[in-house]
Amino acid sequence: MTEARMKINENGRVVIPASVRTALGIQAGDELVMHVEQDEIRITTLRRRIERAQNHVGKYAKSGASLVDELIAMRRKAARDE
């Protein structure tokens, strides 16, 4: 586990140490997501957050099925039924 101590400057900024950036694959220009969970701040990359969401949804998707195509078909059917 990578761990580091940091200080917040007078503007409320924190520098993420290189060892932590390397461990998480964070590079200059990456978008990060920060949220408070109980009494902790959790930071992850937007890219990783999207991957987790895709993996979570993928558990419920039919193999080879396009969720977008299914949604479009459902909306078209609903429009015809109106």
Per residue in 20-49, pLDDT (tens digit) is: 899 889 999 999 999 999 999 998 999 999
- Cα-atom radius of gyration of the chain, to the nearest Å? 20
pTM of this structure: 0.59
Which residues are paired to 42 by β-bridges?
A: 35
Closest residue by Cα to residue 68 from 79, 48, 81, 54: 54
pLDDT tens by residue, 60-82: 777 777 878 888 999 999 999 98
